[in-house]
Amino acid sequence: MIIANEDDVTPAVLAAMNQADDPRVREVMAALVKHLHAFAREVKLTEDEWGIGVDFITRLGKKTTDTHNETILCSDAVGLSTMVCLMNNGKNGGTESASALLGPFWRMHSPETKSGGSIVRSPTPGPALFVDCEVKDAKGKPVVDAEIDVWHASTEGMYENQDDTQANMNLRGKFHTDKDGRFSFRTVLPAGYPVPVDGPVGQLLRAQNRHRFRPAHLHFLLNKSGFKTLITQIFVNGDQYLDSDVVFGVTPPLVGDYKLHTDGPAPAPDVNGEWYSLDAHFVMEPGNSKLPIPPIA
Amino acid sequence: MIIARQEDVTTAVLEAFAKTPDPRLREILMALVRHLHGFAREVKLTEREFQEAVNYVVQIGKHTSDSHNEGVLMAGSLGLSALVCLLNNGNAGQTETDANMLGPFWRDDAPAMPNGASIVRSPTPGPAMFVDAVVKDRAGQPVAGAKVDIWQSSPEGLYENQDPTQAEMNLRGVFTTDEEGRFSFRSVKPAGYPIPIDGPVGDMLRAQGRHNFRPAHLHVMVNKPGLKTLISQVYVNDDPRLDTDVQFGVTRHLIGNYVRHAAGEPAPAPDVTGEWYSLTHEFVMEPGEMRMPRPPIRSKALAAE
pLDDT tens digits for range B51-61: 999 999 999 99
Cβ separation of B33 and A78 shorter than 8 Å? yes
Give the pLDDT of residue A91.
62
Count Cα atoms within 13 angstroms, Cβ side, for B173.
21
Q: Residue B147: what residue type? A: K
- Count interface pairs A-B at CB distance under 8 A: 254
pLDDT-based confidence at B261, cuts 50/70/90? Answer: very high
Give the pLDDT of residue B168.
93
A36 in contact with B at a CB cutoff of 8 Å? Answer: yes
Q: Least CA distance to B100: which residue of chain A?
A: A47
Give the pLDDT of residue A275.
95
Whether the per-residue pLDDT at A96 is higher than 70: the answer is: no
Strand segments, DSSP code E, in chain A are 128-137, 147-152, 172-176, 182-188, 193-194, 213-214, 217-223, 230-236, 255-256, 258-261, 275-284
Nearest 5°: phi and psi at A149? -95, 135
pLDDT-based confidence at A117, cuts 50/70/90? Answer: very high
Give the pLDDT of residue B301.
60
Whether the per-residue pLDDT at B161 is higher than 90: the answer is: no
Do the beta carbons of residue B153 and residue B191 sit within 8 Å? yes
Do the beta carbons of residue A284 and residue A143 sit within 8 Å? yes
With CA atoms as reference, report the closest residue to A177 among A154, A144, A151, A132.
A144
Q: How many CB atoms lie within 10 A of CB A269?
A: 6
Whether the per-residue pLDDT at B164 is higher than 80: the answer is: yes
User: Could you read off the pLDDT of A211-253 as tens digits, one per residue?
Assistant: 999 999 999 999 999 999 999 999 999 899 999 999 998 988 8
Q: Whole-angstrom Cα distance, residue B103 to residue B73?
A: 8
- Angle at A29 (CA atoms; ends A94, B158), nearest 5 degrees: 150
Nearest 5°: phi and psi at A253? -65, -10
User: Could you read off the pLDDT of B82-120 as tens digits, one per residue?
Assistant: 999 999 987 765 667 888 988 888 999 999 999 999 999
Whether the per-residue pLDDT at B260 is higher than 50: the answer is: yes
Average pLDDT of B154-159? 88
Residue A173's SS3 state is strand
Average pLDDT of B204-229? 96
State chain B's mean pLDDT as an integer: 92
State the burial class of residue A66 (Cβ atoms within 10 Å of its Cβ: 0-12, 13-18, 19+): exposed
pLDDT-based confidence at A94, cuts 50/70/90? Answer: very low
- Statement: the pTM of the whole predicted model exceeds 0.90: no
Distances in Å between the Cα of A54 and the Cα atoms of A47, A151, B89 are 11, 34, 20
According to DSSP, residue A61 is labeled H
B139 in contact with A at a CB cutoff of 8 Å? Answer: no
Contacts of A242 in chain B (CB under 8 A): 2
Q: Whole-angstrom Cα distance, residue B80 to residue A39?
A: 10
Residues 221-250 of chain B whose Cβ lies under 8 A from any Cβ of chain A: 242-244, 246, 248, 250
Q: Whole-angstrom Cα distance, residue B215 to residue B193?
A: 7
Cβ separation of A78 and B32 shorter than 8 Å? yes
Whether the per-residue pLDDT at A48 is higher than 70: the answer is: yes
Torsion sign over Cα B157, B158, B164, B168:
positive
Distances in Å between the Cα of B52 and the Cα atoms of A106, A221, A295, B69, B84 are 16, 19, 11, 21, 27
With CA atoms as reference, report the closest residue to B277 among B269, B288, B286.
B269
Q: What percent of chain A is predicted at pLDDT more than 70?
A: 97
Average pLDDT of B193-205? 94
Give the pLDDT of residue B78.
96
Whether the per-residue pLDDT at A30 is higher than 90: the answer is: yes
Write down the ipTM of this complex.
Answer: 0.85
Residues 37-56 of chain A whose Cβ lies under 8 A from any Cβ of chain B: 37-51, 54-55
Give the pLDDT of residue B304.
38
3-state secondary structure chain B: CCCCCCCHHHHHHHHHHCCCCCHHHHHHHHHHHHHHHHHHHHHCCCHHHHHHHHHHHHHHHHCCECCECHHHHHHHHCCHHHHHHHHCCHHHHCCCCCCCCCCCCCCCCCCECCCCCECCCCCCCCCEEEEEEEEEECCCCECCCCEEEEECCCCCCCCHHHCCCCCCCCCEEEEECCCCCEEEEEEECCCCEECCCCCHHHHHHHHHCCCCEECCEEEEEEECCCECCEEEEEECCCCCCHHHCCCCCCEHHHECEEEEECCCCCCCCCCCCCCEEEEEEEEEECECCCCCCCCCCCCCCCCCC
Distance from CA of B269 to the nearest CA of A (A): 35
Torsion sign over Cα B71, B56, A194, B36:
positive
B71 in contact with A at a CB cutoff of 8 Å? Answer: yes
With CA atoms as reference, report the closest residue to A166 among A118, A221, A122.
A122
Average pLDDT of A262-281? 90
Do the beta carbons of residue A290 and residue A229 sit within 8 Å? yes
Do the beta carbons of residue A125 and residue A155 sit within 8 Å? yes
A203 in contact with B at a CB cutoff of 8 Å? Answer: no
Cβ separation of A9 and B21 shorter than 8 Å? no
Do the beta carbons of residue B213 and residue B177 sit within 8 Å? no
Q: Which of B59, B75, B94 sits opposite A61 (nearest CB)?
A: B59
Whether the per-residue pLDDT at A61 is higher than 60: the answer is: yes
Q: How many CB atoms lie within 10 A of CB A133?
A: 23
User: Could you read off the pLDDT of B275-297 as tens digits, one per residue?
Assistant: 999 999 999 999 999 998 888 77
Give the residue, A126 or B91, on which the prediction is more confident.
A126
User: Could you read off the pLDDT of A171-222 as tens digits, one per residue?
Assistant: 999 999 999 999 999 999 999 989 999 999 999 999 999 999 999 999 999 9
Contacts of A92 in chain B (CB under 8 A): 6, 44
Whether the per-residue pLDDT at B303 is higher than 80: the answer is: no
Do the beta carbons of residue B209 and residue B275 sit within 8 Å? no
